[in-house]
C-alpha cells in the first residue's frame, strides 16, 4: 500500500499500539508461537513474512485502505454458502445503513453467512443469536471468519465477533477506509480472550493464506434413476433367478455383484448375532431394524441398489430363521424410491441446514431418520451424542412411557372396517417389531452430522448444562417431557423443507403405508412396507447353517 493515506494509516497505528504491516517480501520470520501481547504493551514492529504473520495471529486487520478492486473481486469469488461451510470459511457481509452498529444484527449477518435463511431469522430469539452462531460455527467446522467492510462496524460488534472466534479461529477484518483503525484495535487488544495482538496484514497476505477455491457449483438436480422399474417384481425367493433370466448379461453381472455383496454382509451380521438368533429370535427385530436403517438399506441412495440390497438381505436372512417381508402395495407406484433413508435427500438436508434453531433441526433430523415422532427423544442425554454428531449411543436408562402408536382412536374396531387387502396386511404385520429407537445406537448419514453437533454445542454452551442433561428440552419451557413442543417444532420444520410426515400426526392418518395396521405402527420399517417375522424356533431348530454347507441338490 503506497501513498499518503497509507502513510497516515501506518503512523496512526503505531501511535495507538497496533502493529503495522511490513514489506511482504521480507525474508525474516518470527516464531509462530510468540508470546501473547499484553494489553497496552508496545506492539512488535519486526518484519514478518506474510504467511507466517497470518499464521501467528488470530485477529488480522487487512489493510485495504484504497478499497482496491482486487480485494472486491477476491471476496466476490468466495465460494457459495454450502461450499463455504465445507471449506471452513465464512464471509460476513454486514448489513448496511447503520444496522451494523448493533451486535445483534451482526450476529444475524453471521448466521446468514453460515447458510441460514434470512427470512426465517426474524423468528430467532434476539438473546440467542450469538449462541446459535457459535454452535453452528462449531458444528460446521468454521476456522476462518472474514468480516467485510469492518470499518463500518463498531468496536463492540467486532469484539463480539472476536470473542466468538476465540483462540480456535482466525478473524480477518477487511478495513477498506482511510479512517484510523487504532481505536478499534486498541479496544480488541485489551480483551484477554484474544491472547494475540491485532496484526495488520496486506490483502496479498489474505489471498496467500486463503486462496480462492476452484469454482464448484452445486450439482444440478438429478431425478432418481428409473432403472429399478425394469427389475423383476418377484419376491426374494426367486428374485435373483428372475434377474438372471430377464436382464442382459452385462447388467446382471453388475446387479449380482451388488446382490452377492449385500448377502455376504447379511451373513456376517447373522454370524455376529448368532446366539440371539438361535435362542431369542423374537428379540432380534429392533437390532435388525437399526442395522437395516443405518448400514444396510438406508444408505443406498439409488432406489435400484436399495431394492437389490433388500432382496439379497431377505434371501440371506431366511436361512437364519428371519422372514423380512416387503409388501410394496401400500407404497404407491414408486415403491423402491421409498426404501432409502429420508436424510439422504440433499434438498432436505440443505433445507434443514438453513434453519437456525438447533432444537428444531436436530429433532427433525432424528425424526426423519427414524421415521418416528419424538416419543423417545427424552431418553438421550448430551453424553450420548458424539461431538461430531455422527451417532447416538443407547442410553442406560429410559424415560419413555410406551409406544406412541399403541394408542388407537377411541371407539376401536379399526381392523373390522378394513377391506380385504388391508386386513391381510394388518394380520401379516401383527408380529412386526416395535421399533424403540433409543434401545440401539443410531448412526446418522454424513450430511446430517452438523445438525446434531450444532444442537449438542448449543446445549452445552447454555449456563449450568452438563453432559448429564437431556439432549432435548421443551423448546419454550423447561418442563418435561418435551414431546408436545418437539412435535409441533418438527411439523413446522417439515413443512418448510416440503417433506410432510404421516407419522407425525396426532390421530391415525387416513393416508400412509401404515393403513390397516392395528395398532398403528410407526417406524423405519413401516414406512418402507417392511415387517420382521422371526420363525418359530420349534420349526427352525437345527436348521441354522451356512448356505454353502447345504446338501448337494
Q: Which residues bind other proteins (CB under 8 A)?
A: 221, 223, 235-242, 244-245, 260, 263, 315-316, 318-319, 321, 323, 325-327, 329, 332-334, 424, 428, 431, 495, 498-502, 505, 509-512, 533, 535-536, 539-540, 543, 545, 547, 550-553
**Residue 310 Cβ, how far from other proteins at the closest point, in Å?**
12
Q: Which of 256, 459, 499 is nearest to 364 (CA)?
A: 499
Report DSSP letters for 14-57, one per residue: HHTT-BPP--TT------TTPPPPPTTPPPP-----HHHHHHH-
**Residue 548 Cβ, how far from other proteins at the closest point, in Å?**
8
- Measured from the CB atom, the residue of 199 and 325 that comes closer to other proteins is 325
- Measured from the CB atom, the residue of 124 and 535 that comes closer to other proteins is 535
Neighbours of 134 (CB within 10 A): 21
Q: Is 100 left (phi over 0), alpha (psi -120 to 50) or beta?
A: alpha
CB 13 within 8 A of CB 193: no
- Measured from the CB atom, the residue of 417 and 510 that comes closer to other proteins is 510
- Measured from the CB atom, the residue of 395 and 537 that comes closer to other proteins is 537
Helix, strand, coil tally for the chain in percent (to 5): 50, 5, 45
- Measured from the CB atom, the residue of 51 and 278 that comes closer to other proteins is 278
- Measured from the CB atom, the residue of 182 and 315 that comes closer to other proteins is 315
**Residue 185 Cβ, how far from other proteins at the closest point, in Å?**
48
Close Cβ partners of 504 (under 8 Å, ≥ 6 residues apart): 367, 373, 487, 490, 491, 494
**Residue 229 Cβ, how far from other proteins at the closest point, in Å?**
13
CB 186 within 8 A of CB 18: yes
**Residue 511 Cβ, how far from other proteins at the closest point, in Å?**
4
- Measured from the CB atom, the residue of 69 and 510 that comes closer to other proteins is 510
Helices (H), 429-523: 449-461, 483-496
**Residue 551 Cβ, how far from other proteins at the closest point, in Å?**
5
CB 147 within 8 A of CB 94: yes
**What is the residue whose three cell numbers read 478473524?**
171
CB 20 within 8 A of CB 44: no
**Residue 252 Cβ, how far from other proteins at the closest point, in Å?**
9
How far CA 469 is from CA of 380, 381, 384, 457, 460, in Å, comes to 9, 5, 10, 13, 9
- Measured from the CB atom, the residue of 454 and 490 that comes closer to other proteins is 490
**Residue 27 Cβ, how far from other proteins at the closest point, in Å?**
56
Amino acid at each position: 500500500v503506497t501513498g499518503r493515506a497509507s502513510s497516515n494509516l501506518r503512523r496512526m497505528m503505531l501511535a495507538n499500539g497496533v502493529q503495522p504491516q511490513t514489506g511482504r517480501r521480507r525474508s525474516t520470520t518470527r516464531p509462530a508461537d510468540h508470546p501473547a501481547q499484553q494489553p497496552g504493551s508496545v506492539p512488535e514492529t519486526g518484519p514478518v513474512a506474510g504467511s507466517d504473520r497470518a499464521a501467528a495471529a488470530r485477529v488480522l486487520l487487512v489493510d485495504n485502505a484504497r478499497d482496491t478492486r482486487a480485494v472486491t473481486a477476491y471476496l466476490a469469488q468466495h465460494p457459495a454458502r454450502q461450499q463455504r461451510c465445507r471449506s471452513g470459511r465464512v464471509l460476513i457481509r454486514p448489513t448496511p445503513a447503520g444496522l451494523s452498529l448493533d451486535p445483534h444484527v451482526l450476529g444475524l449477518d453471521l448466521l446468514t453467512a453460515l447458510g441460514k435463511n434470512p427470512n426465517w431469522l426474524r423468528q430467532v430469539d434476539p438473546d440467542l443469536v450469538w449462541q446459535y452462531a457459535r454452535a453452528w460455527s462449531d458444528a460446521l467446522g468454521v476456522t476462518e471468519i472474514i468480516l467485510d467492510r469492518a470499518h463500518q462496524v463498531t468496536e463492540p460488534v467486532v469484539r463480539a465477533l472476536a470473542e466468538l472466534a476465540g483462540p480456535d479461529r482466525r478473524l480477518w477484518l477487511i478495513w477498506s477506509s482511510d479512517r484510523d483503525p487504532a481505536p478499534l484495535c486498541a479496544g480488541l487488544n485489551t480483551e484477554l480472550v484474544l491472547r494475540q495482538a491485532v496484526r495488520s496484514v496486506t490483502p496479498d497476505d489474505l489471498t496467500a493464506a486463503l486462496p480462492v477455491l476452484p469454482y464448484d457449483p452445486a450439482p444440478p438436480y438429478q431425478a432418481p434413476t428409473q432403472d429399478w422399474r425394469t427389475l423383476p417384481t418377484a419376491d426374494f425367493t426367486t428374485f435373483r433367478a428372475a434377474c438372471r433370466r430377464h436382464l442382459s448379461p452385462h447388467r446382471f453381472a453388475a446387479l449380482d455383484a451388488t446382490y452377492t455383496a449385500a448377502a455376504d454382509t447379511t451373513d456376517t451380521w447373522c454370524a455376529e448375532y448368532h446366539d440371539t438368533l438361535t435362542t431369542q429370535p423374537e428379540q432380534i427385530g429392533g437390532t435388525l431394524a437399526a442395522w437395516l436403517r443405518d448400514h444396510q438399506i438406508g444408505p443406498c441412495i439409488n432406489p435400484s441398489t436399495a431394492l437389490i440390497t433388500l432382496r439379497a438381505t431377505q434371501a440371506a436372512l431366511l436361512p437364519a430363521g428371519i422372514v423380512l417381508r416387503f409388501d410394496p402395495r401400500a407404497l404407491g407406484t414408486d415403491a423402491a424410491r421409498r426404501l432409502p433413508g429420508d436424510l439422504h435427500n440433499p434438498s432436505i438436508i440443505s433445507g434443514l441446514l438453513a434453519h437456525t434453531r438447533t432444537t428444531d433441526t436436530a429433532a427433525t433430523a432424528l425424526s426423519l431418520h427414524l421415521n418416528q415422532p419424538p416419543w423417545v427423544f427424552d431418553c438421550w442425554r448430551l453424553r450420548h451424542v458424539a461431538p461430531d454428531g455422527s451417532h447416538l449411543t443407547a442410553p442406560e436408562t429410559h424415560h419413555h412411557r410406551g409406544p406412541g402408536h399403541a394408542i388407537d382412536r377411541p371407539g376401536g374396531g379399526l381392523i373390522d372396517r378394513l377391506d380385504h387387502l388391508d386386513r391381510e396386511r394388518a394380520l401379516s404385520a401383527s408380529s412386526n417389531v416395535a421399533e424403540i429407537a433409543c434401545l440401539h445406537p443410531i448412526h446418522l448419514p454424513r450430511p446430517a452430522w452438523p445438525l446434531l453437533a450444532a444442537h449438542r454445542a448449543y446445549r452445552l454452551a447454555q449456563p449450568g448444562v452438563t453432559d448429564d442433561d437431556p439432549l432435548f428440552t421443551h423448546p419454550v419451557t423447561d418442563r418435561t417431557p418435551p414431546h408436545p413442543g418437539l412435535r409441533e417444532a418438527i411439523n413446522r420444520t417439515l413443512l418448510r423443507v416440503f417433506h410432510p410426515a404421516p407419522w407425525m400426526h396426532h390421530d391415525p392418518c387416513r393416508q400412509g403405508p401404515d393403513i390397516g395396521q392395528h395398532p398403528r405402527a410407526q417406524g423405519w420399517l413401516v414406512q418402507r412396507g417392511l415387517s420382521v417375522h422371526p420363525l418359530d424356533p420349534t420349526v427352525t431348530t437345527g436348521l441354522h447353517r451356512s448356505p454353502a454347507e447345504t446338501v448337494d441338490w
